[in-house]
C-alpha cells in the first residue's frame, strides 16, 4: 500500500500575515462593546422561565389548611430515581379528617436525587404534589437537601382546590350518618 502525500495549496499574503484573523477578532470585540449589557443582577432579577418548566416538587394543602396527601404511595412507586420516601400513618378516629384512610407520618424528597421529571405530580390522585417554579434550591449539606414533610409544605403552601373533594366527602358522610 503506497502512501500518497496530500497537496497543500500555498497560503496567500493575507493568510500569512494573520491580518484577516486580527480584523475578525477586533470586529467581534467592537460589536460586543456597543451592545447593551445582558448581565442579570441575580437574585433580584431572575430569568423568565420557559413554558412547561417543571420545578421542584412540593406538598400543598387545601384552602382550609388540611393535608391533601393520603399516603397512597403512588408518587414513591413512580419516581424513577427513588427520591421520594413515604411512611404511612394512621388518622385517629376522633379527628376531623377521620373520613380519610391515611395520612403520611413521614414524607421526604431527596432533592439531590430528584430529576424534576414531574411524574409524581401526574400520578397523584389527590393533587397533593405540585411542581413549583423553584429553581434555586440550595443547601450546605446533603441533609439540608432532603426535604421533610414540614419543609415541603412550607415550599408548597396552599393552593385553591377547584374540586372541593374533601368538602364533598365530608358532606356526604355527614348526610349519610344523619339518615341512619
Output the nine-digit C-alpha cell for 155.
415550599
- Residue 173's pLDDT band, with cuts at 50, 70 and 90, is low
* pLDDT for the residue numbered 58: 94
Name, in order, each residue with C-beta under 8 angstroms of 102's C-beta and a sequence gap of 6 or more.
70, 71, 72, 88, 89, 90, 91
Q: Please state the domain extents for the chain.
A: 56-169
- Residue 165's pLDDT band, with cuts at 50, 70 and 90, is low
Phi and psi torsions of 98, nearest 5°: -70, -20
Q: Across all residues in the chain, what is the average pLDDT?
A: 86
CA-to-CA distance for 171 and 177, rounded, in angstroms? 10
Residue keyed to cell 433580584:
44
The architecture in CATH of the region 56-169 reads 2-Layer Sandwich (3.30)
CA-to-CA distance for 85 and 59, rounded, in angstroms? 13
Beta strands in 10-74 (DSSP E): 56-59
Output the nine-digit C-alpha cell for 115.
430529576
pTM of the model: 0.68
Amino acid at each position: 500500500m503506497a502512501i500518497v502525500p496530500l497537496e497543500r495549496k500555498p497560503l496567500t499574503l493575507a493568510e500569512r500575515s494573520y491580518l484577516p484573523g486580527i480584523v475578525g477578532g477586533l470586529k467581534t470585540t467592537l460589536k460586543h462593546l456597543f451592545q447593551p449589557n445582558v448581565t442579570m443582577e441575580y437574585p433580584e432579577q431572575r430569568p423568565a422561565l420557559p413554558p412547561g418548566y417543571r420545578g421542584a416538587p412540593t406538598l400543598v394543602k387545601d384552602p382550609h389548611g388540611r393535608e391533601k396527601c393520603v399516603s397512597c404511595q403512588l408518587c414513591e412507586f413512580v419516581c424513577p430515581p427513588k427520591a421520594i420516601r413515604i411512611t404511612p400513618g394512621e388518622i385517629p378516629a376522633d379527628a376531623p379528617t377521620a373520613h380519610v384512610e391515611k395520612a403520611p407520618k413521614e414524607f421526604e424528597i431527596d432533592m439531590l436525587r430528584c430529576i424534576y421529571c414531574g411524574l409524581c405530580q401526574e400520578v397523584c390522585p389527590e393533587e397533593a404534589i405540585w411542581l413549583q417554579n423553584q429553581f434555586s434550591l440550595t443547601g450546605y449539606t446533603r441533609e439540608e437537601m432532603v426535604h421533610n414533610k414540614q419543609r415541603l409544605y412550607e415550599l408548597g403552601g396552599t393552593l385553591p382546590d377547584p374540586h372541593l373533594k374533601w368538602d364533598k366527602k365530608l358532606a356526604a358522610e355527614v348526610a349519610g350518618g344523619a339518615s341512619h
